[in-house]
Structure 1
Amino acid sequence: MRIGLFPSTEHSIDKGIDSVELLGDISAKTKAFTLEKGVTGNQQELSLDGALVLLRKLSLDSFSKTEYKNGNFCFGIHFVLEGNYNFTNPESKTKVNISSGSYNLVQWPELVGFEKLKGKEYVSVEVFFAKEFLEDLLGTEHDSTFENFVDTSVEKPKCLWSEGRAIPGKLRQLLLEILHCSYTGSAKTNFIESQIRCLVIEVFLGKDNGMQEMDGGAQLSVLDKETIEKVSLYIKQNLKRKLTIKELSEMAGFNTTKLKSCFKKVFHTTIFKYITQLRMEKARALILEENFTIAQASYEVGYSNPQHFTVAFKKTMGYLPSSLLSTPI
């Protein structure tokens, strides 16, 4: 039984295109897909026992719209690190929207619909699984928040939360390890599978998983939320510059107190930690994917002193940036 959303046959490379990379046995493999015109990057899926993982690191000229379908009822955890995700089911007129830096849990019935990806860069990790996979992994020890969600069958896509939750630091770190896995062959299969299991356990049982409502978060106006999203976008586009609370407050039209309060309600972290996390993530990608030296990467994310960068990287990521230099891609 195939689990999870997949594109229509004409988009799959299965027909005669030799770019399927086997990572282990037939029950655990990755499969690449041809990309639409104007879309570059990499999209792969990893099949596990009772689950399917979809990894995407894409660059889009405008947006990507593809017909996707699901043949069997399943659940999905969708993490969107960059870009915006939208799925529309024409029959039920149901939409699933997940914005940059957020995640949500979705019940997927049997259906056909259109998936639309937006953003210059689109990066996501999606985990589709059957109820048996979750029960085998957790037993009955999942948060009460999920009881009705897990036990309810639906006829149209249904999200656990009306709006996606900000991806906490611990989950983000696991996602980055999955996306930037440097191993090959069976080692890669086993590593990603173990990280996916840790990821699902953390989502359902972790204390820092964003399940609890942040105090006052629901009271933010739509305008305030949009303003904070603009601040977030500005930060991502200016990681090389020295960013100050005063500058960001002036850009948002908020005083510093309101900016810090609203930002934490939306992203569940402080502005300083958010900026640092993004800088370290970008530096890691530059070192691994662009072969930057530590000094070059530190400069590109706003550090003039590589030693200061190394200290910040170790504190944020949990290991030294030098450990990336000897790791094969």
Structure 2
Amino acid sequence: MEIRFKSSECNGRELVKSFNKDFETSFLSEKEYSDFKHSGSGIVKEIHLNNAFVLFQDQNIQNSENHTIQVVQNHPVFLLQIVIDGDVTFSFNENICSEFNLNKNMYNLFYIPPSKNVYKYLNHKKRILNIYFTAPFLECKMGTCFLKNSKKYQQAKKENELCCFFNKGLVLNRQLRNIVNDFLTCSYGGVIKQSYLESKLTELLLIALASNDSDSIINKLRKEDRESLVRIESYIRSHLETELSIKNLSELAGFNTSKFKTVFKQVYGIPVFQYITSLRIEKAMQLISKHDYTIAQASYEVGYKNPQHFTVAFKKKLGYLPSQLINNGQ
């Protein structure tokens, strides 16, 4: 099995990856690339686990107009693509008439037969997690009925065409974001790291693909409402230091307050204020543990006017004091 990645951002440099059947391997393999001096900054990280190959792109590109990656594969694969930041257009077999779009804070599952495909990135910044695997791995995790009951997949397989499992994509909710973050920031080593990453990958796959209720909710929303909800979630993330009220967020989304609270909880799994608190504590943890912020500095940075109020919220959610982050880091 072989997958070739050819990127326009690296002067046409081609990355060729060869694998055993079904991505089989007995050990964890990791590589990282950061040679983007003439086109931008960031990293591309690859992780090869047993039965899965993961490619994580975290980059800032100088010229997004011609930013493309061509992917050629000689074996059918499944791709779980998670767009944390940026927007991507996927052209199957280089045919611009069969394009699929995936926006920020969304994900989708694709079945891709042997083909030559092009991914075009529409923003300067991108953070995208691509997880490749084959049918036996998916059936092992989700059961054989997942594929047997998918008429779209069965038809696509028969006609050697691409299959997009979720027409409009699904929202990357907080639960999935946390799993993705755990997967990408694992600090273990050796065999423990391999076991941890494999367990997190299984958890991510199960929760992402078992989101039938969320899919139904999203599909029932008008396109404008769905886009508004994703936009507001992004707005919340980028304005954690400000006062965020239900009234203002509802107005920005174009909903009345009742509808906004109801739909937000249905799609993201928890009430909006609980979601905001979780994001604030998550960001504060990173500022304290990775960027040497004091507790007071971190609390102000995520919107708490009183550090004591932040400490109370932190302790209530996680069961320990934020000062322990500093002590553990020494």
Q: Give the direction of change, closer, same or farther, for the CA distance of 1:308–1:230 in structure 2 (3 Å limit).
A: same
Per the normalisation by structure 2, the TM-score is: 0.78
Does residue 304 of the first structure (1) align with residue 308 of the second (2)? no
Residue matched to 2:52: 51
SS in 2 for 1:100: coil
Pairing of 1:221-236 with structure 2 (within 5 A): 221-236=222-237
Deviations 1:7-27 (A, max 9, x none): 45943578xxxxxxxxxx984
Q: Is the 8 A contact 1:29 1:189 kept in 2?
A: no
Residue matched to 1:237: 238
Deviations 1:4-61 (A, max 9, x none): 67345943578xxxxxxxxxx9842112235554432222111122211122333344
Higher helix share: 2
Q: Is the 8 A contact 2:88 2:122 kept in 1?
A: yes
Give the alignment partner of residue 180 of structure 2, picking from 175, 181, 190: 175
Pairing of 1:1-329 with structure 2 (within 5 A): 1-2=1-2, 6-7=5-6, 10-12=12-14, 27-34=27-34, 36=36, 37-61=38-62, 63=64, 64-89=67-92, 90-91=94-95, 93-119=97-123, 121-140=125-144, 142=146, 149=153, 153=157, 155-204=160-209, 209-213=210-214, 217-264=218-265, 266-313=267-314, 321=322, 324-325=325-326
Cα-Cα RMSD: 3.5
Instruction: Name structure 1 gaps, 5 residues minimum.
Output: 15-24
SS in 1 for 2:213: coil
Q: Report the CA distance between 1:174 and its aligned residue.
A: 1.3
Q: Is the 8 A contact 1:214 1:265 kept in 2?
A: no
Range moving further from structure 2, 308-317 or 285-294: 308-317
Per the normalisation by structure 1, the TM-score is: 0.78
Residue matched to 1:19: none
Deviations 1:292-324 (A, max 9, x none): 333332221112334433454466568765565
CA distance, structure 1, for counterparts of residue 317 and residue 74 of structure 2: 41
- The residue type paired with residue 117 of structure 1 is Y
Structure with the larger RCO, 1 or 2 (CA within 8 Å, 6+ apart):
1
SS in 2 for 1:42: strand
Deviations 1:230-269 (A, max 9, x none): 3233222211101111222333343322333444455454
- The residue type paired with residue 123 of structure 1 is R
Q: Report the CA distance between 1:176 and its aligned residue.
A: 1.0
Q: Report the CA distance between 1:139 and its aligned residue.
A: 5.0
Deviations 1:103-145 (A, max 9, x none): 2111112222221234454323222111122334455475976
Q: Report the CA distance between 1:185 and its aligned residue.
A: 4.8
Instruction: Name structure 2 gaps, 5 residues minimum.
Output: 17-24
Q: Is the 8 A contact 1:217 1:265 kept in 2?
A: no
CA distance, structure 2, for counterparts of residue 106 and residue 31 of structure 1: 25
Q: Is the 8 A contact 2:156 2:162 kept in 1?
A: no
Q: Is the 8 A contact 2:54 2:131 kept in 1?
A: yes
Q: Is the 8 A contact 1:168 1:210 kept in 2?
A: no
- The residue type paired with residue 278 of structure 1 is L
| Identity %, equivalent residues | 32
Count, aligned residues: 314
CA distance, structure 2, for counterparts of residue 96 and residue 317 of structure 1: 39
Q: Report the CA distance between 1:74 and its aligned residue.
A: 0.7
Range moving further from structure 2, 260-269 or 186-195: 260-269
CA distance, structure 1, for counterparts of residue 52 and residue 315 of structure 2: 33
CA distance, structure 2, for counterparts of residue 285 and residue 146 of structure 1: 40
Q: Give the direction of change, closer, same or farther, for the CA distance of 1:29–1:92 in structure 2 (3 Å limit).
A: same
Q: Is the 8 A contact 2:46 2:54 kept in 1?
A: yes
CA distance, structure 1, for counterparts of residue 216 and residue 117 of structure 2: 36
SS in 1 for 2:86: strand
Range moving further from structure 2, 245-254 or 183-192: 183-192
SS in 2 for 1:32: strand
CA distance, structure 2, for counterparts of residue 323 and residue 148 of structure 1: 50
Q: Report the CA distance between 1:150 and its aligned residue.
A: 7.4
CA distance, structure 1, for counterparts of residue 41 and residue 273 of structure 2: 32
- The residue type paired with residue 224 of structure 1 is D
Q: Give the direction of change, closer, same or farther, for the CA distance of 1:224–1:200 in structure 2 (3 Å limit).
A: closer
